[in-house]
């Protein structure tokens, strides 16, 4: 069971891609908090529902960024791996 240098890098890339996705924990918690506060605000001021949802979605979009960074790194490691070409 030989391991070539290339295989070692690709194996580490697989683990790295999976580990990068752990970043998704943060946006999940944060956006959920935003959703909760949004629902609460609609309950208190139903006439402002449109503005509340707009603000919530804008904030949630900002909160999404780090999750997308994690996804981008995982996708690069999987589909455009720059490390194997450095050998």
Residues that bind another protein (CB under 8 A): 1-4, 6-8, 10-19, 21-40, 42-44, 46, 49, 52-53, 56-57, 60, 64, 67-68, 70-71, 74-75, 78-79, 81, 84
Q: Which is nearer to another protein, 43 or 86 (CB)?
A: 43
Q: How far is 68 from 26, CA to CA, in rounded Å? A: 11
Contact of 13 with 83, CB cutoff 8 Å: yes
Closest separation between CB of residue 2 and another protein, Å?
7
Closest separation between CB of residue 86 and another protein, Å?
13
Q: How far is 40 from 46, CA to CA, in rounded Å? A: 10
Q: Which is nearer to another protein, 22 or 86 (CB)?
A: 22
Q: How far is 71 from 52, CA to CA, in rounded Å? A: 28
Q: How far is 40 from 48, CA to CA, in rounded Å? A: 12
Closest separation between CB of residue 4 and another protein, Å?
7
């Amino acid at each position: 069971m030989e391991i070539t240098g290339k295989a070692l890098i690709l194996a580490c890339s697989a683990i790295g891609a999976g580990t990068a996705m752990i970043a998704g924990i943060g946006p999940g918690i944060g956006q959920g908090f935003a959703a909760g506060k949004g629902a609460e605000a609609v309950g208190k001021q139903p006439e402002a529902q449109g503005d509340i949802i707009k603000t919530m979605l804008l904030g949630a979009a900002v909160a999404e960024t780090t999750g997308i960074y994690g996804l981008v790194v995982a996708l690069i490691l999987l589909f455009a791996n720059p490390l194997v070409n450095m050998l």
